[in-house]
Structure 1
Amino acid sequence: MGFADILDEIGGFGRFQMIHVTLLSIPGLLMASQNLLNNFTAGTPGHHCNIPNRTSLALGQNISASDLSDQEVLQAFIPVAEGSGLSKCTRYTEAQWHLVKGNVSGTWTRTNVTDAETETCQDGWIYDKTEFQATIVSEWDLVCTLRPLKQMSQTIYMGGVLAGAIIFGGLSDRFGRRALLIWSYFQLATLGTCTAFSPSYLAYCIFRFLTGMAVSGIILNAVSLKVEWIPTKSRTLVGTISSFFFTFGQMILAGLAYTLRDWRKLQMAVCSPFFIFFIYSWWYSESARWLMLNRRSDEALKHIHRVARINGKPELAQKITVEMLESHMHKEVQSSKKIYTVYDLLRTPVMRQISICLMVVWFSTSFAYYGLAMDLQKFGVSIYLIQVIFGAVDFPAKLVALGTLSFFGRRVTQASCLVLSAAVIFANIFVPAEMQTVRTTLAVLGKGFTSASFTCIYLFTGELYPTVVRQTGMGLTSTMARVGSMAAPAVLILDEVLPALPSIVYGGSALVAGIFAIFLPETLNVPLPDTIEDVEEKWVKQKGRSAQEPAEKELALLPESDF
């Protein structure tokens, strides 16, 4: 008899759990905006070199400045790049008026291009404001030779997410889920808002790095607070429904970005609401499971009584005592007296197998996801439309994932999502470039499978790691996800070697991860483990049984406290 039985006694998935999960999930509407924000705040508008003021032009050839349209002036100053567009990074050293001539109808046409001398943009750039009114690219001229700084800003942000996964994961196992979550809300609200007032590119990158740290703190601790207050049978449904908040958030981002074309306004819009989340987060209850394992039984009892009252079972407030809690979790409390580190995730055979497999799966899921989602301008259609499509496909993908998670289990679902995403990415290699609709459709499908993989891996990881190291494990594995998200943009430069090479790398990574997922233990309808010994004993028993014996029978023969 363990903590899962106590949860059932105080109402199972009752009124408290519904309010708790809802309040924890609402910030997810804007969490997706943080990771994908760079698509809009760092969008690259059409641009060309600035040219001299028309009134100062020495035209000659009997041409009056008033006779020329803006397009015709551009023809004299801006060379044609490869293809049909004007050069974005060079201009003629001297105006080439012979390239523009009048005809009897009074119109102007372009003649043959000469080999006239060109130079880099000496007077800055002119930006097209049709799609974006202002971005960090247009504000700080992150084009041409400074173009890598655009991607660097996203890499720096992901570096902050990585640092947050390492720092907040360990701290929350030491100081609690609730305290770190409240702090993370405040950090994101404050520093995210400060980002909107950045006076320079350097300040912008610093604020984005610190904002990324807060994003990790929110995600990791919100997942643990949900999992540790939810009864075993409700975890799949709650985990999937919670992920829909992230999905809908992608569509909200598209709407906000379409309405607020200025990056500062958009940055403010997606960060300032976290002040509201910070205020109401004080209502949250700390994980009673974590409190018990940290020998804070009186506090755990207080929170359990509170949950019982909210769930309409006040009579249990007198029935459940500290002695009862400690007797239910005696084994776990004794085990928790040891101080755990990242080393404990790799020290024992089963934990080592779980950690290695999860690190590969997290890396590849994030690697493929951001490889598809972070360069929306490459699809040749409105960036706002493609963001909506990418968000909308997640709904059916996650509904299918919900069904497979409930009926076929976590392991099959995780492996299938990764293998199918790999298959779609590989298929796109053989689609001709001119078939843009087909290529976009396949990319959307790949995005759907990787999103479903994310839904599964968040739930799966929380169920696989025991309470004493759950946040440390979430921090380690999600660290690998951040490494994948940082590496994904860099792989795109491989298309200069071979156009299909990025897709081969993305698809190959997803395929390998799908194979690794097969070696993870199944956790469908299995109570959460509290100690490392629980995990080792449970998995050894599972491996010792006949491979032909149904999983349901295995679980029925084991007492719930075994895992």
Structure 2
Amino acid sequence: MLLENFTAAVPGHRCWVHILDNDTVSVNGTGILSQDAVLRISIPLDSNLRPEKCHRFLHPQWHLLHLNGTFPNMSELDTEACVNGWVYDQSSFSSTIVTEWDLVCEFQLLNSVSKFLFMAGTLVGSIIYGHLSDRWLMESARWLIITNKPEDGLKELRKAAHRNGKKDVGDTLTLEVLTSTMQEELEAARTKHTVCDLFRTPNLRKRICLLSFVRLITGDDAENFNHDLQPSFLFMA
């Protein structure tokens, strides 16, 4: 769960732009325009005056080169989705499932689906293996004694003693001896506990608080986790 904060990180990204990112045909390669200028005519700005992550201009907006710091209403210009894919910032993460499968913009929901499937698998696995664990415990002598089946528990103990070469234990291992030995556990089994009992003793209280803190961290959303870590991203060299 903690690893998902890195494997499913969402790095900075923008639309792939033909005149900027095409290795064979690029106006930037001629030295006529800077990367800032090419980006300005290729990708609209969002409300924070940063390049949009999910849209690009349908055609290069050459007139934007002569605005001298002023910005027109970008909603009036023709834009399109990132039909040719995205360019990702690799300064923090060289590769994640988001960059491998382009789980951004209109496909961002699939990132949440992967997390849902993981949590669903955890839930189903807990139920299945919890049930299998209870089936195994039902065969143990301790479980039989605690569930008011001391005679069956005594038989299981005698079988275990016989398999371990302790054949003479059968005479000394009686129901009275077994009951007195496990008196403390039997009393504990009859006691009804509540959630408040988790915080009664100092050691248990400390462990519960630490486990809760770790669970909160590992369950944090990967996108929110990486939101403050993303550097300002404009270009890929």
Deviation of the 1:330 alpha carbon: 5.3
Deviation of the 1:78 alpha carbon: 1.0
Distance 1:302 1:46 in 2: 67
Q: SS at 1:48's partner residue?
A: strand
2:54 partner letter: C
Asked if residue 143 in structure 1 is aligned to residue 3 in structure 2, the reply is no
Residue of structure 1 aligned with 2:95, choices 129, 134, 137 = 134
Asked if residue 450 in structure 1 is aligned to residue 212 in structure 2, the reply is yes
Q: Could you say which residue in structure 1 is the equivalent of 2:56?
A: 91
* Structural mapping, 1:250-399, within 5 Å: 289-290=142-143, 295=153, 296-298=156-158, 300-301=160-161, 321=169, 324=173, 327-329=176-178
Deviation of the 1:38 alpha carbon: 1.4
1:137 partner letter: V
TM-score, normalising length: structure 2: 0.63
Residue of structure 1 aligned with 2:35, choices 67, 70, 73 = 70
Distance 2:51 2:78 in 1: 16
Q: Could you say which residue in structure 2 is the equivalent of 1:45?
A: 11
Deviations 1:458-504 (A, max 9, x none): xxxxxxxxxxxxxxxxxxxxxxxxxxx7xx86xx9xxxxxxxxxxxx
Distance 1:124 1:299 in 2: 68
Deviations 1:528-553 (A, max 9, x none): xxxxxxxxxxxxxxxxxxxxxxxxxx
Does the 8 A contact of 2:42 with 2:60 survive in 1?
yes
Deviations 1:27-77 (A, max 9, x none): xxxxxxxx22211110001000111126545x6xxx984233333322211
Q: SS at 1:36's partner residue?
A: coil
Deviation of the 1:319 alpha carbon: 11
Question: Percent identity among equivalent residues?
Answer: 33
Shift of the 449–321 alpha-carbon distance from structure 1 to 2, 3 Å rule, reads closer
Distance 2:168 2:90 in 1: 64
Does the 8 A contact of 1:78 with 1:86 survive in 2?
yes
Does the 8 A contact of 1:127 with 1:138 survive in 2?
yes
Distance 1:301 1:70 in 2: 81
Q: How many residues align?
A: 198
Shift of the 405–133 alpha-carbon distance from structure 1 to 2, 3 Å rule, reads farther
**RMSD of the TM alignment (CA)?**
4.5
Deviations 1:69-108 (A, max 9, x none): 3333222111111213211100000111222359xxxxxx
Q: Could you say which residue in structure 2 is the equivalent of 1:159?
A: 120
Deviation of the 1:328 alpha carbon: 4.3
Does the 8 A contact of 1:288 with 1:301 survive in 2?
no
Does the 8 A contact of 1:75 with 1:110 survive in 2?
no
Deviation of the 1:148 alpha carbon: 1.5
Deviation of the 1:302 alpha carbon: 8.2
1:88 partner letter: K
Shift of the 43–149 alpha-carbon distance from structure 1 to 2, 3 Å rule, reads same
1:75 partner letter: R
1:297 partner letter: L
TM-score, normalising length: structure 1: 0.29
Does the 8 A contact of 2:13 with 2:88 survive in 1?
yes
1:324 partner letter: L
Q: Could you say which residue in structure 2 is the equivalent of 1:125?
A: 86
Shift of the 291–79 alpha-carbon distance from structure 1 to 2, 3 Å rule, reads same
1:157 partner letter: F
Shift of the 324–138 alpha-carbon distance from structure 1 to 2, 3 Å rule, reads same
Deviations 1:308-343 (A, max 9, x none): xxxxxxxxx969935527544459x9xxxxxxxxxx
Distance 1:148 1:302 in 2: 60
* Structural mapping, 1:150-549, within 5 Å: 150-176=111-137, 289-290=142-143, 295=153, 296-298=156-158, 300-301=160-161, 321=169, 324=173, 327-329=176-178, 406-407=201-202, 413=205, 450-451=212-213
Distance 1:119 1:325 in 2: 83
Deviation of the 1:151 alpha carbon: 1.7
Shift of the 47–86 alpha-carbon distance from structure 1 to 2, 3 Å rule, reads same
Distance 2:60 2:9 in 1: 31
Distance 1:112 1:167 in 2: 59
Structure 1 gaps, min length 5: 1-34, 103-108, 178-285, 306-316, 334-349, 362-400, 418-447, 455-484, 493-563
Structure 2 gaps, min length 5: 147-151, 183-190, 225-237
Does the 8 A contact of 1:289 with 1:300 survive in 2?
no
